[in-house]
Chains A and B, each alone.
Chain A
C-alpha cells in the first residue's frame, strides 16, 4: 500500500502533457522515493474517467490519497506550489522543525 495515490490527467501527447509527466515524476522521485502510485490518464482515450473525476483543465493532478483530495492544475512547472499542495515536507524545512 503506497501512501500517495496520484492521478495525472492529460490531453494527448502534447509537449505540455509531457512536461507535466516529467515534472511530477521528478518531484515524486525527489521527495517520495518509491512511496507513491501515479496513474496517467489521457482524456482523449478515457473521457468518462475525466467525467467521473470532474476534471476540467489539463494537465490536472489529483491527489486521491492521503486525504483530503486535492487538485493541481497546470504543467506542474511551479514545483513549490506542487509540493505545498501535496503536503510534501521539503528537506530544508525538515531541517528546521
Chain B
C-alpha cells in the first residue's frame, strides 16, 4: 500500500465521505484541527464508532486530554456503547490523559517509544483498522519540550502507517481563520488536513467542516455545514457536492386546482419544485392546502411541513376551506408536521425534514413557509438550506411546493426568492390588486420550466370551498411591479393597437 495510488477508507460519518470523495486516505494520518468546542473529539470517536457499527472495523482511541471515563460517558448520548465494545474487543483505549495529582519533570532527551509500544499492543490485540488520537496539543503541554515532542509525534504518525492504520489525529487551533494548528502540529502530519469550525455568523452558531488538503487524491473544496444530532453524531451536509442527476419526467400531477392545472397546461411536473410567492394573506397557505388535497384525493402520499401555524390553527383553517385534515391523516395518506422555526437550527430542521421524508416516502411535499425559516438563519445558511432541501426532494422524484412571503404588500420580492427562484422549476405569484378602492387577489404563473403556461394575471377568490381562479384582469396594469393602476378601455385598445401595428 506504500506508494502508488491513494485508496480511500469510508468513514461512515454521514455526509463526510461525500465531501471526502469516498473517505479518508487509507493507511494515512489525517489531521483534524479546530478551536475549542468544534467537535473534534466527537468526530474522532465517531470515526471509530461507525467503523464498528457499519464495517466491522475495530479501532483504537488514544486520549491525551479527556479521561477515558469521561469519553465513555459523553459518547453514550450518541448511542455508542464504548464500554461494551471494549469488552467485545472492538474498541481499545490507550490512556495517555494526564494524572491530575501527579507531577512530571523532564530531565533530558526522551522519545515516545512507550506510546508507540502501547498503540501497537492495543492495535494488535483487537486487530484495529482505525485509530483516533485526541488531541496532539495536550502532548506538548504534558511534555513541554516542543522540539522533541514534534520530532517524536512525526515518528509516531509515520509508524501508524506501518501498522496499517487509517487515523484521525486532532489538534487545536486558536483562530477560526488563522494558522492551521497550535505548536506547528501540521508540519509533521500535513499530508491530509481537515478543519472543523464553529463560527458565530449573524448571531447564529454555524458549524462547518472543510477538507483543506488530501495529498495525492481528490476531495470537495470549501466549507460544508454540519450539525450534531443526538443518537447519530456528526451529520455533514454536502450541499454543493450533491450531484444534479435527477431525472426529469414529463408526468404531470395535479396542483389541487383544476383551473391552475389548466393554466399550467395540465398540472405540475412530478419531479419539479414550485415556488408560491405572495404577500401575507394572498392565499399561500390555501394553495399549499389545496396542493395537499389534490394529492390525497388521487391516492398520493402527501406531506406538509408547516412552520407558521400550530396544528390546531392549520386544521381549523383547512376546515374553513372545506378540507378535513384530521380525517385524511387517519387514512395514512397525509402527514402534517408542525414545527416552530426557532425550535432548532436550520441544519437540524433540514436533517429532521429529510428523515421525515425518507420515513414517510411521500409523493408530494409542501413547505409553508420558507420565509418563516429564513428568520432563524443567516443568509448564507439559508441559501445552503434551500439548496440542500430542493436537491434532496428532487432526488426523491417527488413534487415540492414551497411558499414564500414577500415583505411588501404590493408586489416586491424577498431574499427567499433571490435564493430560490433559479432552483425552482415553476414560480406562481400571488399579488394584491387594488381596483376602485377594493383589494382583490391576483395569480399568475411566472415561469414553468419545460412547459407552456398561461401568461394571464387572473383573479383569485377564496370562499368556504377553497380557492377559485377566475378570468384575467383586463383593465389593470402594473400588478406584478406592485403598482397596479386602472387602464381605461380606450387606452388599452390604443396600447394593443400599438403592438399590432408593430407586427404588421
A interface, CB within 8 angstroms of B: 9-12, 16, 19-20, 23, 43-44, 47-48, 50-51, 54-60, 68-79, 81-82, 84-85
A82–B104 Cα distance when bound, in Å, is: 11
13 A-B pairs in the complex with CB atoms less than 8 angstroms apart: A10-B113, A47-B117, A47-B120, A48-B121, A54-B97, A56-B142, A57-B113, A57-B114, A70-B102, A72-B104, A72-B106, A74-B106, A85-B105
- A76 x B108 contact (CB < 8 A): yes
A16–B266 Cα distance when bound, in Å, is: 84
The one of B95, B105, B139 in contact with A54, judged by C-beta atoms closer than 8 angstroms, is: B95
**Least Cβ–Cβ distance between B157 and chain A, in angstroms:** 15
- B117 x A44 contact (CB < 8 A): yes
The one of B107, B120, B139 in contact with A56, judged by C-beta atoms closer than 8 angstroms, is: B139
Judge if B94 is at the interface, Cβ distance under 8 Å.
Answer: yes
Task: Report if A51-B121 is in contact (Cβ < 8 Å); known contacts: A57-B114, A70-B102.
Answer: yes
- B107 x A77 contact (CB < 8 A): yes
1/0 per position for B71-86, CB-CB distance to A under 8 A?
A: 0000000000000000
The 7 closest A-B pairs by CB, nearest first: A11-B113, A74-B108, A47-B121, A75-B108, A77-B108, A81-B107, A58-B113
A34–B271 Cα distance when bound, in Å, is: 87
B interface, CB within 8 angstroms of A: 94-97, 99, 101-118, 120-122, 139, 142-143, 152
Q: A11-B111, A47-B121, A56-B96 are in contact. List 7 more A-B contacts (CB 8 A).
A: A51-B94, A51-B118, A57-B110, A57-B115, A58-B111, A58-B112, A73-B106
Q: Which residue of the partner chain A has the closest CB to B111?
A: A58
Task: Report if A71-B113 is in contact (Cβ < 8 Å); known contacts: A43-B118, A51-B94, A81-B107.
Answer: no
Which chain B residues lie closer than 8 Å to A12 at the CB level?
A: 113
Which chain B residues lie closer than 8 Å to A51 at the CB level?
A: 94-95, 118, 121-122
Task: Report if A74-B109 is in contact (Cβ < 8 Å); known contacts: A54-B96, A69-B102.
Answer: yes
- B142 x A71 contact (CB < 8 A): no
A57–B153 Cα distance when bound, in Å, is: 11
Which chain B residues lie closer than 8 Å to A73 at the CB level?
A: 104-107, 110, 143
Task: Report if A55-B114 is in contact (Cβ < 8 Å); known contacts: A47-B121, A73-B104.
Answer: yes
- B107 x A58 contact (CB < 8 A): no
The one of B94, B95, B120, B143 in contact with A57, judged by C-beta atoms closer than 8 angstroms, is: B143
Task: Report if A11-B109 is in contact (Cβ < 8 Å); known contacts: A56-B139, A70-B102.
Answer: no
Q: Which residue of the partner chain B has the closest CB to A55?
A: B114
Residue of B96, B110, B121, B143 ringed by the most chain A CB atoms within 10 A: B110
Which chain B residues lie closer than 8 Å to A78 at the CB level?
A: 107-108
- A77 x B109 contact (CB < 8 A): yes
**Least Cβ–Cβ distance between A13 and chain B, in angstroms:** 12
Q: Which residue of the partner chain A has the closest CB to B113?
A: A11
**Least Cβ–Cβ distance between B113 and chain A, in angstroms:** 3
Task: Report if A74-B102 is in contact (Cβ < 8 Å); known contacts: A56-B114, A57-B143.
Answer: no
The one of A11, A50, A82 in contact with B107, judged by C-beta atoms closer than 8 angstroms, is: A82
**Least Cβ–Cβ distance between A70 and chain B, in angstroms:** 6
Task: Report if A47-B118 is in contact (Cβ < 8 Å); known contacts: A68-B101, A68-B102, A73-B143.
Answer: yes
**Least Cβ–Cβ distance between A10 and chain B, in angstroms:** 8
Residue of A73, A79, A84 ringed by the most chain B CB atoms within 10 A: A73
**Least Cβ–Cβ distance between B326 and chain A, in angstroms:** 62
Which chain A residues lie closer than 8 Å to B99 at the CB level?
A: 54, 69
Q: Which residue of the partner chain B has the closest CB to A78?
A: B107
- B109 x A75 contact (CB < 8 A): yes
- A50 x B114 contact (CB < 8 A): yes
- B117 x A11 contact (CB < 8 A): yes
A41–B110 Cα distance when bound, in Å, is: 15
Which chain A residues lie closer than 8 Å to B112 at the CB level?
A: 56-58
**Least Cβ–Cβ distance between A51 and chain B, in angstroms:** 5
A55–B112 Cα distance when bound, in Å, is: 9
**Least Cβ–Cβ distance between A49 and chain B, in angstroms:** 10
**Least Cβ–Cβ distance between B146 and chain A, in angstroms:** 14
Task: Report if A85-B102 is in contact (Cβ < 8 Å); known contacts: A43-B117, A54-B95.
Answer: no
**Least Cβ–Cβ distance between A57 and chain B, in angstroms:** 4
A74–B405 Cα distance when bound, in Å, is: 69
A57–B95 Cα distance when bound, in Å, is: 13
A41–B376 Cα distance when bound, in Å, is: 59
A51–B125 Cα distance when bound, in Å, is: 13
- B110 x A74 contact (CB < 8 A): yes
- B115 x A56 contact (CB < 8 A): yes
The one of B101, B102, B104, B114 in contact with A11, judged by C-beta atoms closer than 8 angstroms, is: B114
**Least Cβ–Cβ distance between B336 and chain A, in angstroms:** 56
Which chain A residues lie closer than 8 Å to B97 at the CB level?
A: 54
A48–B95 Cα distance when bound, in Å, is: 12
Q: Which residue of the partner chain A has the closest CB to B112?
A: A57
Q: Which residue of the partner chain B has the closest CB to A44?
A: B117
A2–B40 Cα distance when bound, in Å, is: 46
Q: Which residue of the partner chain B has the closest CB to A69?
A: B102
**Least Cβ–Cβ distance between B255 and chain A, in angstroms:** 67
Q: Which residue of the partner chain B has the closest CB to A62?
A: B102
A44–B142 Cα distance when bound, in Å, is: 22
Which chain B residues lie closer than 8 Å to A70 at the CB level?
A: 102-105
A84–B113 Cα distance when bound, in Å, is: 25
